[in-house]
Amino acid sequence: MRIAMIGTGYVGLVSGVCFSDFGHEVICVDKDPAKIAALQAGRTPIYEPGLEELMAKNVAAGRLSFTLDLAAAVAGADAVFIAVGTPTRRGSGHADLTYVMAAAAEIGAALTGYAVVVTKSTVPVGTNRAVAAAVAQANPGAEFDVASNPEFLREGAAIDDFMRPDRVVIGAETERAKKVMGDIYRPLSLREFPVVYTGLESAEMIKYAANAFLATKITFINEIAALCEKVGADIKAVSKGMGMDGRIGNKFLHAGPGYGGSCFPKDTKALARIGQDHAVPMQIVETVIKVNDEVKRRMIDKIEDLCDGHLRDKTIVVLGVTFKPNTDDMRDAPSLTIVPALVGAGAKVRVVDPEGRREGEEMLPGVVWSDNPYGAANGADLIVILTEWNEFRALDLGRLAKKMTHARMADLRNIYAADEVRAAGFTDYVGVGR
Ligand code: UDX
């Protein structure tokens, strides 16, 4: 199959690289000359484990290339994927479809023969029909179908998620479109990964419903964690005992500083907005959004309590600022709420993050960046673990404690046990929900 992938952001690039690894011929398109130049030179603009290697392999095999020329990529393609951004529109919560609709019109103008125009970007229900209209308007004679093919990739594990998905969702209405989509995903269906065919609206809804449900699950456990702290229960034991119920499942029950990232915050807001637009308020999701904001603020109180109520002039080491490990993505990271609050209250904040500095430097003014936890801990009053990078999971706690003026730890990802931290010389330890 010949595939054109419009947009080389996170979703577009991972999908394009993985499709080429299936054996398809893939051309990735972007409007940003710097991005295309970097990709042509073999560099990925994002940090994602394994991506650069897989990209190099498929470029070398002649199946994968990058261009600024959308029309050339679309001409002769069997499928054109739209994987451009759908940020939250300022002030409204709606997903901003400017880029999606602009891409649809450009694709329409460039179509030379039958192709399936596939939306991979997360878009509100009804967008695929609007894409079809935009393509037809740009090129009234064009022969095409539209399909919705939402992605469920987790950053940091995106390649594995693409190659070994729980399911592939395809919203399509004609046999011809289903056949093209089926052929594209054939390497996965041959290996018995389920491919679910639905209508366009259902596929669009599956994506929002899945993300909102996962955000709800995390927020639910975060709220239970707050109660555990008051009643003397341990959220880790509670999550374990709950998660063993097959109807609940043990995933996404880790209490922490609140969900962040490129999807959950944006998609919950967009779903709430869609509900309002249709006079079916998404009351649970609206509450989840509110509670998740409160979770982040609760973390600030926790840190303040640990510093005897005074943050002014305290030296605080923050370990991890990306929204999760194995990514350099800072979008809606809890650190963007928590760190400025500490700085604003007069604390001296030192930050260590294996990949976050490039993006984070501008977003977190007033902090000092450090390369390693031990250097940063010199003379510090508190360590805050905010993102559970592997390199923070096996710290030499005794060495850290010795370097600190006050050896205290706020472990907002519950990666250590209170006993071991205290045994290593820390005077105070708090986790979340324990
Ligand atoms: C998510 C979805 O998992 C993916 O299917 C979707 O298509 C894109 O959004 P991603 O945002 O990359 O993926 O990360 P994910 O691993 O889902 O984590 C999202 C946030 O929830 C992170 O801030 C993470 O720290 C938090 N989280 C996750 C928890 O706090 N507790 C958990 O148990 C799980």
Q: Which two tokens stand for residue 313?
A: 């002039």
DSSP 95: B
pLDDT of amino acid 142:
95
User: Is the Cβ–Cβ distance between 50 and 98 less than 8 Å?
Assistant: no
Q: Which two tokens stand for residue 384?
A: 């805050």
pLDDT of amino acid 88:
80
Helix intervals (H) in 93-173? 98-110, 127-138, 158-163
- Any residues with Cβ below 6 Å from ligand 1, and which? 151-155, 211, 214, 218, 252-254, 256, 259-264, 323-324
Q: What is the CA(216)–ligand 1 centre distance, in A?
A: 11
Annotated active-site residue 263? The verdict is yes
Q: What is the CA(215)–ligand 1 centre distance, in A?
A: 8
| Ramachandran angles phi, psi of 37, nearest 5° | -60, -40
pLDDT tens track for 76-127: 999 999 999 988 887 777 889 999 999 999 999 999 999 999 999 889 999 9
Q: Which atom of ligand 1 is nearest to the CA of 155?
A: 12
Q: How many angstroms separate the CA atoms of 278 and 419, rounded?
A: 52
Residue type, 219: T
pLDDT tens track for 187-213: 999 999 999 999 999 999 999 999 999
Going by alpha carbons, the residue nearest to atom 5 of ligand 1 is 152
Q: Which atom of ligand 1 is nearest to the CA of 329?
A: 12
Q: Which atom of ligand 1 is nearest to the CA of 333?
A: 23
pLDDT of amino acid 238:
98
pLDDT of amino acid 92:
79
User: Higher confidence at residue 93 or residue 340?
Assistant: 340
Q: Which atom of ligand 1 is nearest to the CA of 156?
A: 12
Residue with tokens 């005794």: 398
Least confident of 62-71, 82-91, 102-111, 277-286: 82-91
Residue with tokens 């399909």: 147
Is residue 131 over pLDDT 80? yes
DSSP 196-231: EEE-HHHHHHHHHHHHHHHHHHHHHHHHHHHHHHHH
Residue ranges of domains in the chain: 2-198, 200-434
pLDDT of amino acid 279:
98
CATH topology of domain 200-434: Rossmann fold (3.40.50)
Q: What is the CA(134)–ligand 1 centre distance, in A?
A: 33
Mutate to test the pocket of ligand 1, among 259, 332, 414, 415 (most ligand atoms within 8 A of CB): 259
pLDDT of amino acid 87:
85
pLDDT of amino acid 299:
98
Residue type, 220: F
pLDDT of amino acid 211:
97
pLDDT of amino acid 289:
98
Q: Give the CATH number of domain 2-198; options: 3.40.605.10, 3.40.710.10, 1.10.287.1120, 3.40.50.720.
A: 3.40.50.720
pLDDT of amino acid 93:
77
The domains spanning 2-198 and 200-434 adopt the same CATH topology: yes
User: Is the Cβ–Cβ distance between 106 and 70 less than 8 Å?
Assistant: yes
Going by alpha carbons, the residue nearest to atom 27 of ligand 1 is 259
Q: Which atom of ligand 1 is nearest to the CA of 323?
A: 23
Question: CA triplet 434, 416, 348: central angle to 5 degrees?
Answer: 90
Going by alpha carbons, the residue nearest to atom 13 of ligand 1 is 154
The whole-number average pLDDT for the span 58-78 is: 98
Q: What is the CA(139)–ligand 1 centre distance, in A?
A: 39
Residue type, 77: A
pLDDT tens track for 160-190: 999 999 999 999 999 999 999 999 999 999 9
User: Is the Cβ–Cβ distance between 252 and 102 less than 8 Å?
Assistant: no
Looking at the chain, the whole-number percentage of residues with pLDDT higher than 90 is 96
Enumerate the β-bridge partners of residue 348. 315
The model's pTM is 0.94
SS3 call for 433: coil
Q: What is the CA(285)–ligand 1 centre distance, in A?
A: 16
Q: Where is 148: in which H helix or E strand?
A: strand 144-148
Going by alpha carbons, the residue nearest to atom 32 of ligand 1 is 252
pLDDT tens track for 30-61: 999 999 999 999 999 999 999 999 999 999 99
The whole-number average pLDDT for the span 366-375 is: 97
Q: What is the CA(96)–ligand 1 centre distance, in A?
A: 22
